[in-house]
């Protein structure tokens, strides 16, 4: 994803963000509050994802990035990881045709090395089938961690210096940004985290430099179009200055 986008100067509407990113949190707490197993919370979380993808398309959002599985999630119990991967398999097999028909282009960021071959195959299948779609870009952060992404970019730049292809002085934010997982995707305008937690948890830390952050108390399985519209309304009330002065106050 690219460096922070400049504010619009063409008079275009920015009340709807171009790019929304979501940390889908609270599946386990949703289930626990109802005396249900965590696996049921994750299953209902997939239902919420379907609703939000459909709502994003309807609202004219162009990029939706979801934090589906972090590199830290490997520390969870093996049974829960198995359940999560099973849901991913079913989601792609059952929903890919619908996503494709709805004009959704699927992109995947994160590490694929070490994943089961069938998972890697499903991720590639989703990308290959939907590559030409232009309505909504669904970016799936899977086995993803922002620190690792930034470290990989730094390693590539260091190797270029070692190979004599660039000088240390040529390294700047733009150069590093070009080696992130999806440098062609604009940075998120709005990052939403559900379930009341107020942190990024190693998600898009570089790209979030000028993002508006909205934290909602709703557990992810209960998140719907109305909740998304509420977060967007909060985003629209904010004045994005990108380090500059406020338009009216000069502060």
Percent of the chain whose pLDDT exceeds 70: 90
**CB burial class (10 A; 0-12, 13-18, 19+) of residue 225?**
middle
| Whole-number Å distance between alpha carbons of 148 and 141 | 13
Least confident of 7-16, 31-40, 183-192, 224-233: 7-16
pLDDT digits (tens, 9 = 90+) for 103-138: 999 999 999 988 889 899 999 999 999 999 999 999
Report the topology of domain 19-145+187-237.
Undecaprenyl pyrophosphate synthetase (3.40.1180)
Whether the predicted pLDDT of 3 surpasses 80: no
> What does the DSSP 8-state code read for residue 144?
E
Q: Within 10 A of 140 (CB to CB), how many other CB atoms are there?
A: 23
pLDDT digits (tens, 9 = 90+) for 147-189: 999 999 999 999 999 999 999 999 999 999 999 999 999 999 9
| Whole-number Å distance between alpha carbons of 106 and 124 | 9
CA neighbours closer than 13 Å in the CB half-sphere of residue 43: 8
At residue 8, the pLDDT reads 44
**CB burial class (10 A; 0-12, 13-18, 19+) of residue 159?**
exposed
Residue ranges covered by each domain of the chain: 19-145+187-237
- Which residue is it, tokens 């406020």? 246
Whether the predicted pLDDT of 96 surpasses 50: yes
Which runs of consecutive H residues, i.e. helices, occur in the chain?
A: 27-32, 38-59, 78-101, 117-130, 146-162, 173-177, 225-237
Kindly list the catalytic residues: 25, 73
Of 19, 13, 55, 3, the residue nearest 189 (C-alpha): 19
At residue 250, the pLDDT reads 53
Written as six digits, the tokens of 189 are 């305008």
| Whole-number Å distance between alpha carbons of 185 and 137 | 9
Whether the predicted pLDDT of 243 surpasses 70: no
**CB burial class (10 A; 0-12, 13-18, 19+) of residue 171?**
middle
Q: 242 in the Ramachandran plot: left (φ > 0), alpha (ψ -120 to 50) or beta? A: left
H/E element holding 215? strand 212-215
| Whole-number Å distance between alpha carbons of 201 and 52 | 21
> Is 183:1 a contact under the CB 8 Å cutoff?
yes
Q: Within 10 A of 15 (CB to CB), how many other CB atoms are there?
A: 9
Whether the predicted pLDDT of 10 surpasses 90: no
Residue 216 phi, psi dihedral angles, 5° rounding: -120, 145
Which residues is 141 bridged to in the sheet? 67, 109
Tell me the pTM.
0.89
At residue 114, the pLDDT reads 82
């Amino acid at each position: 994803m690219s460096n922070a986008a400049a504010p619009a100067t063409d008079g275009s509407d920015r009340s709807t963000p171009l790019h929304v990113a979501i940390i889908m949190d609270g599946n386990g707490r949703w289930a626990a509050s109802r005396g249900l197993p965590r696996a049921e919370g994750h299953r209902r979380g997939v239902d919420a994802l379907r609703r939000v993808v459909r709502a994003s398309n309807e609202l004219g959002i162009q990029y939706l990035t979801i934090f589906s599985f972090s590199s830290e999630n490997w520390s969870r119990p093996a049974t829960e990881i198995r359940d999560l991967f099973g849901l991913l398999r079913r989601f792609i097999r059952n929903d890919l045709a619908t996503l494709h028909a709805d004009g959704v282009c699927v992109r995947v960021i994160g590490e694929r090395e070490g994943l089961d071959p069938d998972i890697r195959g499903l991720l590639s299948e989703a990308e290959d089938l939907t590559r030409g779609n232009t309505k909504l870009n669904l970016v799936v952060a899977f086995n993803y961690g922002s620190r690792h992404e930034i470290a990989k970019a730094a390693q590539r730049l260091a190797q270029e210096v070692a190979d004599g292809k660039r000088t240390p002085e040529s390294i700047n934010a733009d150069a590093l940004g070009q080696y992130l997982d999806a440098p062609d995707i604009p940075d998120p305008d709005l990052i939403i985290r559900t379930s009341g937690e107020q942190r990024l948890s190693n998600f898009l830390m570089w790209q979030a430099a000028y993002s508006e952050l909205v934290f909602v108390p709703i557990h992810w399985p209960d998140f719907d179009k109305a909740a998304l519209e509420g977060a967007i309304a909060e985003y629209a009330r904010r004045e994005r200055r990108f380090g500059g002065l406020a338009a009216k106050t000069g502060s």
